[in-house]
Structure 1
Amino acid sequence: MALDTALGTIGIWSGALRVDGPERLGEVGEAARELEELGYGTLWIGGSPGVHQAAHLLEATERVTVGTSILSIWTYEAADVAAQYAALAPALRERFVLGLGVSHGKLAERYARPYSAMQTYLDGLDGAPVPLPASQRLLAALGPKMLELARDRAAGAVPYLVTPEHTAQARERLGAGAVLAPELKIVLDTDPARARATAREFLSLYLALPNYTNNLLRLGFEEADFADGGSDRLVDALFALGDGNAVRKRVDEFLAAGADHLAVQAVVPDQRNAPLPRAQWRELADILPLKG
């Protein structure tokens, strides 16, 4: 099955799907099975997960694709990633997609020459005893050079913190044959001020990371847009805010701009300490085009 078909139209992105210890295996496995039954095509694990963490979700489900979004090349060695992929049962391997990226200088001590480092990392995946094939890997590409590498050395791109305008530019750079699967944050709240406050609370972390702000500057935003958690213009561009109709409109804008798949992230107040947002996932399942 082609990767764009395997991903489906809509997936769920969540750092809460990452399991670091046995105490949450049951809870997260149950949530993964519900997401599969709701019709989401892919479960994206946030927070630089490893293949071993994707394995938990693969084992808990039967059909859904499971991806890392994103695995940091500074945290996991290419040889180890390929070996863990090879150790998966063949049926689970078929449902796995490796989303990988160069992370950020503030988060990775070894960060240096990210483009060259990614090339070397892909060489390592290709040269492993059991290669992790280009057809099952996507790069967290934002700028032109990394997008071209995603086109040439992977199945496509999984951009994070982007707009429909970036999606259109990425599609042009990737060409028609590559997979484009951006992420979109959603706040289901019909009070505009409260929805923006929730978005700003979550966005503030990312506005301290130059890889993201540099990309936003390329898209026409200004330094002033990054102050105080983000201007209204920036927040409204990066999030889908409001009721079901407003959210569906934003999702359709990404798909019309050239996305094959959209990884949606339900954002709630105090997101980093929140449980799995299962009520929001259920509500989104009734709003979004899960069946294509």
Structure 2
Amino acid sequence: MIEGLDRYGVSLSVTDDLGAKAVAAERLGYSAIWVAGGQLATLDPLLEILRATTRVAVVPGIISLDVHGPGEIAELYAEAEGIAPGRLVVGLGGPQRMRVGAVAAVERAADEFDAGTAVPRDRRLLAALGPRKLDLARDRFGGAVTLLVNPGYTAWARARVGRRATLVVDQMVVLDDDPQSARTAAREPLGFLSTVGGYASAFSRMGFDDRDIHELSDRLVDDVVAWGDVDPVVARLGEQTAAGADHVVIGSVVTAGGLDELEIAERLAPSLRL
């Protein structure tokens, strides 16, 4: 199990005021601050959060191995341990541009981390949706990170990784109680993610057909995205923990003229009993 990842965390975007937002999120009571891997052209923002805060775990969600290699990640971990021991958790993902051999690349990275305990097993997570990746997360990592899954899929993933591994669900959230605008907002990031093989395969495992996936049907959006006002969003987060998630990341979709990630986290916090 990964120490420091209590029930809820929050994802923040890399902005000029990242440190201040991280401090505010920590004060709200969230146990972890996550940063999307696509925003980590460099790994410096993770160190910035560690320097600004005193308690929270800091997690990249996730570092792709074709952007930052094992050596660079090991250097990051060593520097983080010097700044804030025990607070960085490395969220790792396979090379996104590699169609063949991605699992083998993750295994080689795990070998490198293990060789000198550069990044201990209990301080690293693997982005995993399918059976092979979930098995690898169970056997070589401290646990798995899933994204765009419903509670039924979470229960299946929990059974696959067992009780000793940490299971993280990154839950997409749209804090909007208008069905049309909420689904429209959700479809923007889903439009890209649904074209990525791992997510499309997971949608198929959840019972969605090709038309659902291609058109991003209302049924699919409603199943994998928590949208609405505070109460239904909090209820969905609770369903994920009840299904077996140890830690749920609030991945807010920010809409034009709407609340930002920190404001959404602030709205949800009282009902989450952090």
Is TM-score (shorter-chain normalized) higher than 0.5? yes
| Aligned counterparts, 1:207-286, within 5 A | 207-228=194-215, 230-270=216-256, 276-286=260-270
Matches within 5 A, 1:84-233: 84-90=76-82, 92-104=84-96, 108=97, 110-128=98-116, 131-228=118-215, 230-233=216-219
Q: Once the two structures are superposed, what CA deviation does each residue of 1:108-159 show, in whole Å capped at 9, x if it has no partner?
A: 2x5531111110111111124x521000000001011111111111110011
Q: Displacement, 1:103? A: 5.0
SS of match in other structure, 1:67: strand
Once residues 263 and 217 of structure 1 are traced to their aligned partners in structure 2, the CA distance between those partners, rounded to angstroms, is 23
> Matched residues in 2 for 1:275 and 1:247: separation?
15
Question: How far does the alpha carbon of each residue in 1:30-57 deviate from its partner, in whole angstroms, 9 at most, with x for none?
Answer: 0000000000010011034354331110
* Equivalent-residue separation in structure 2 for 1:40 and 1:250 (angstroms): 17
Percent identity between the aligned chains?
A: 36
Shift of 1:89: 4.1
- Tell me the amino acid that sits aligned with residue 35 of structure 2: I
Q: What pairs up with 1:6-45 in 2 under 5 angstroms?
A: 6-14=4-12, 16=13, 18=14, 24=16, 27-45=17-35
Cα deviation for residue 192 of structure 1 reads 1.3
Cα offset, 1:275, TM superposition: 8.8
Task: Name the CA shift for 1:103/1:194 in 2 (closer, same or farther; >3 Å).
Answer: farther
CA distance in 1, matches of 2:210, 2:25: 38
Aligned-residue offset at 1:276:
4.6
The amino acid that maps onto 1:126 is D
- Structure 1's unaligned 5+ residue stretches are none
The Cα shift of 1:79 comes to 1.5
Name the CA distance, whole Å, in 2 between partners of 1:190 and 1:215.
Answer: 27
**Alpha-carbon distance in 2 for matches of 1:267, 1:231:** 18
3-state secondary structure, aligned to 1:205: helix
Aligned length: 272
Residue 190 of structure 1 and its aligned partner are, at CA, apart by 1.4
Q: Over aligned residues, Cα RMSD in angstroms?
A: 1.9
Would the alpha carbon gap of residues 79 and 41 (structure 1) be closer, same or farther in structure 2, given more than 3 Å must change?
Answer: same
Q: Secondary structure at the match of 1:95?
A: coil
C-alpha distance after superposition, 1:214-240 (max 9, x if no partner): 111122111111233x10110001111
TM-score, normalised to structure 1's length?
A: 0.87
Conserved in 2, the CA contact under 8 Å of 1:139 and 1:154? Answer: yes
CA deviation vs aligned residue, 1:185-223 (integer Å, no higher than 9, x gap): 111111111111111122111112111101111221111
Please, which runs of 5 or more residues in structure 2 have no aligned partner? none
Name the aligned partner's letter for residue 32 of structure 1. Answer: A
Note if contact 1:139-1:158 (Cα within 8 Å) is conserved in structure 2: yes
